[in-house]
């Protein structure tokens, strides 16, 4: 009788452990599906400026093998589609709209729960400038500076 009770108990314990494991696996799969989302780098955001007349790279992260669709609300710019690689990385190059704006861009995936809408995108000439603090030059010629604007007093007065 004792052996029968022990076997019955161990069978119940195994059953409950099986139920818990299956529940955890299903919950994990459900959460992964619910939390799947497209992500973009910080430079691709609202208020960005794109170079005119060039193919512009748009990239991000999604679920592996997810199909990503990028739409720009501008005549002449077609929707672009790309598939994320096995690591979830994706990149595509779109034709930039004509100079101006503001434009909107929508990025969505076939598996992701989110849809990213970017707004106030401007298109024009993009210049990146950098330098060091010792690269400043005065407008007018000074004793220790060899550079400056000819007739700088007249130029300064005319600018006001």
Please report, for the chain, the start and end positions of each structural domain, with discontinuous segments joined by +.
1-35, 49-124
Burial zone of 50 (CB within 10 Å; 0-12 exposed, 13-18 middle, 19+ buried): buried
**Bigger pLDDT: 32 vs 134:** 134
pLDDT of residue 57: 93
Q: What is the per-residue DSSP string for 62-89?
A: -STT-EEEEEESSTT---EEEE--TTSE
pLDDT at residue 150 tops 90: no
- Tell me the average pLDDT across 109-134: 84
Architecture of domain 49-124: Sandwich (2.60)
Cα dihedral 131, 133, 135, 140, rounded to 10, equals 140
pLDDT tens across 63-79, in order?
A: 999 999 999 887 777 88
């Amino acid at each position: 009788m004792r052996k029968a009770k022990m076997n019955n108990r161990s069978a119940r314990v195994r059953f409950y452990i099986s139920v818990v494991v299956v529940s955890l696996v299903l919950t994990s799969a459900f959460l992964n599906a619910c939390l799947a989302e497209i992500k973009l780098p910080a430079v691709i955001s609202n208020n960005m400026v794109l170079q005119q007349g060039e193919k512009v790279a748009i990239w991000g992260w999604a679920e592996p093998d997810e199909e990503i669709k990028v739409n720009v609300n501008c005549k002449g710019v077609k929707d672009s589609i790309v598939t994320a690689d096995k690591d979830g990385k994706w990149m595509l190059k779109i034709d930039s709209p004509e100079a101006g704006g503001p434009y909107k861009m929508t990025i969505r995936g076939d598996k992701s729960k989110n849809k990213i809408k970017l707004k106030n995108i401007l298109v024009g000439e993009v210049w990146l400038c950098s330098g060091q603090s010792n690269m400043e030059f005065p407008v007018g010629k000074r004793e220790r500076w060899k550079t400056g604007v000819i007739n700088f007093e007249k130029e300064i007065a005319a600018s006001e």
